[in-house]
């Protein structure tokens, strides 16, 4: 079996309009590139979610909030995260993919590079944030040849080619529906009564009563802060694009047989929605018991660095996308200079309409952050690809499972620290049980990643921050068992994140 490089870089004009007098003019982008033979199944290779920060952390994103570190970032994978935006954040990214394809007798390496995403996020209210962006949803790109000996026919060479993909323009919102609960409680009559040193009849409270009231206040405030942290979000996306697939049957050893070519061009467009939820709990002190103090037997010691525990969940329902397919099949031969000469048209149909079903998915994530130094995140996500169908036909896909683990470390986030101590160092691993099972063999994917976030142009007075995120992932998909193809890949990612404070009138000129 032979492998050849196939370019499927699609130029996609886009125009993203923002609220609040902000407009990003027409933007030209290129779809994500793949050269994987496995992209011929389903809608191709489905792109990962999350941008520059999550990629080198094993692709984790579900529980990560925009204020996870001092540098705000855009987490399009969980739209609930938009509610934590405090600055206007713009992000542009590019990917590089070096893929080595191997079977039992041959090996081929291909290289691809492409624009990966362009996005903007901003705050509308203290409890409301939004984001718009252009990202690839899936990619198709392969060229495979296979020779077989068929009885009474001889050698037949089969050539499979595919290109294209689906792109996604999204507009998302995230809100905190319970924002203000702690503040409202502190303004309540019940809070004032517990805070008072006296009862309603003006008699002084005992030491024990004051302690009990302070404990009630503390527990209630912690509970309401936790409830206030609830964030809900949704992305409304427009998916569009086309996927071209061709198959050729070539008879090199037969003089009287014509070659055949069958090609399809599938165009997809429609709306797609995904949803997210996040909550967080901050531990700022540890409880200890003081037996010597009869009035306050329980005390709290402040932590040097607060510990923030974050939870997240994502969900997208099953979606039926409108699709149109054109099919063309014909027999041909090659003349003496190699040009195709069409002999007979076997099929030529245009504009057949149908639907492509994108299955339901859901995921859960947890993250723990200690101060600004340490961050640990874990995700588990499942998608029901067994329900996938295109024009009423299934492809025997299986449900996919992704498990990711990532970490980030910042040696010293203080503005006077040396440059490399302020950098963000990231590591991650991931495992994926893909939707493919060929020849009774499941195709799994394993990868490890690392990266660095380089802070650029930090200004605390203007609250303007920028960062260059670089990540590398090394992994493997597939196997050589049962005549299948093994893929070894190295993926690189570079993204530029710019944070700034817009729409606010300065107090001083």
The H helix count followed by the E strand count for the chain is 4, 21
pLDDT of residue 204: 92
Do the Cβ atoms of 367 and 63 come closer than 8 Å?
yes
Digit-coded pLDDT (tens) for 458-481: 655 445 578 899 999 999 999 998
Which helix (H) or strand (E) segment is 209 a member of?
helix 207-228
Residue 449, pLDDT > 60, answer yes
Residue 448, pLDDT > 90, answer yes
Q: What letters, b where the CB count within 10 A reaches 16 and e where it falls short, cover 340-353?
A: eeeeeeeeeeeeee
pLDDT of residue 71: 59
The pLDDT of 332-354, averaged and rounded, is 86
Digit-coded pLDDT (tens) for 393-403: 888 899 999 99
Instruction: Find the range with the poorest average confidence among 26-35, 145-154, 367-376.
Output: 26-35
CA atoms within a 13 Å half-sphere pointing along the CA-CB vector of 158: 9
Q: How many CB atoms sit inside 10 A of residue 323's CB? A: 20
pLDDT of residue 491: 95
Residue 239, pLDDT > 80, answer yes
pLDDT of residue 492: 95
Measured between alpha carbons, how far is 75 from 298 in angstroms, rounded to an integer? 40
The predicted model scores a pTM of 0.87
Q: How many CB atoms sit inside 10 A of residue 359's CB? A: 20
- What are the tokens at 487? 């893929």
Which residue in 458, 463, 461 sits closest to 88, CA to CA? 463
Q: Domain-by-domain residue ranges, the chain?
A: 2-176+229-500
CA 110 to chain centroid? 24
Measured between alpha carbons, how far is 154 from 253 in angstroms, rounded to an integer? 7
Q: Which CATH number fits domain 2-176+229-500: 3.30.1330.60, 1.20.58.110, 2.40.160.60, 3.40.190.10?
A: 2.40.160.60
Which helix (H) or strand (E) segment is 227 a member of?
helix 207-228
- What are the tokens at 266? 């599938």
Q: Which residue has the tokens 């996919």?
A: 400
């Amino acid at each position: 079996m032979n492998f050849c490089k196939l370019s499927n870089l699609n130029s996609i004009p886009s125009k993203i309009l923002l609220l609040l007098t902000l407009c990003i003019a027409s933007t030209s982008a290129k779809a994500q590139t793949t050269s994987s033979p496995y992209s011929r199944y389903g809608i191709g290779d489905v792109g990962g979610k999350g941008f520059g920060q999550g990629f080198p952390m094993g692709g984790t994103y579900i529980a990560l909030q925009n204020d996870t570190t001092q540098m705000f970032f855009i987490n399009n994978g969980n739209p609930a995260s938009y509610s934590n935006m405090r600055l206007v954040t713009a992000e542009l990214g590019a990917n590089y993919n070096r893929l080595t394809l191997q079977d039992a007798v041959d090996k081929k390496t291909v290289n691809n590079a492409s624009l990966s995403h362009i996005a903007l996020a901003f705050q509308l209210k203290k409890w409301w944030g939004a984001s718009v962006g252009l990202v690839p949803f899936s990619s198709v790109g392969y060229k495979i040849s296979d020779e077989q000996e068929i009885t009474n026919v001889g050698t037949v060479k089969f050539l499979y080619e595919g290109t294209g993909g689906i792109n996604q323009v999204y507009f998302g919102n995230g809100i905190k529906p319970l924002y203000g609960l702690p503040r409202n409680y502190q303004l309540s009559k019940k809070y004032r009564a517990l805070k008072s040193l006296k009862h309603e009849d003006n008699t002084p409270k005992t030491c024990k009563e004051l302690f009990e009231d302070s404990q009630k206040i503390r527990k209630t405030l912690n509970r309401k802060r936790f409830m206030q942290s609830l964030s809900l979000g949704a992305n409304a996306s427009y998916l569009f694009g086309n996927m071209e697939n061709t198959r050729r049957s070539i008879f090199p050893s037969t003089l009287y047989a014509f070659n055949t070519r069958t090609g399809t061009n599938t165009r997809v467009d429609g709306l797609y929605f995904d949803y997210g939820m996040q909550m967080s709990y901050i531990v700022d002190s540890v409880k200890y018991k003081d037996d010597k103090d009869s009035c306050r037997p329980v005390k709290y010691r402040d932590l040097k660095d607060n510990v923030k525990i974050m939870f997240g969940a994502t969900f997208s329902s099953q979606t039926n996308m409108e699709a149109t397919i054109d099919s063309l099949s014909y027999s041909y031969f090659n003349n003496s200079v190699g040009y195709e000469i069409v002999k007979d048209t076997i099929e030529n149909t245009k504009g057949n309409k149908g639907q492509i079903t994108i299955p339901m998915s859901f995921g859960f994530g947890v993250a723990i952050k200690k101060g600004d130094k340490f961050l640990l995140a874990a995700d588990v996500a499942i998608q029901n690809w067994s329900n996938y169908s295109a024009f009423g036909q299934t492809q025997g896909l299986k449900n996919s499972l992704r498990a990711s683990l990532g970490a980030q470390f910042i040696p010293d986030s203080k503005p006077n620290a040396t440059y490399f101590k302020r950098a963000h160092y990231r590591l991650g691993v991931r495992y994926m049980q893909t939707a493919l099972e060929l020849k009774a063999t499941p195709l799994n994917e394993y990868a490890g990643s690392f990266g660095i976030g380089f802070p650029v142009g930090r200004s605390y007075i203007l609250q303007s921050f920028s960062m260059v995120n670089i990540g590398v992932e090394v992994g493997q998909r597939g196997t050589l068992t049962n005549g299948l193809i093994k893929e070894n890949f190295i993926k690189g990612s570079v993204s530029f994140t710019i944070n700034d404070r817009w729409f606010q009138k300065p107090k001083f000129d």
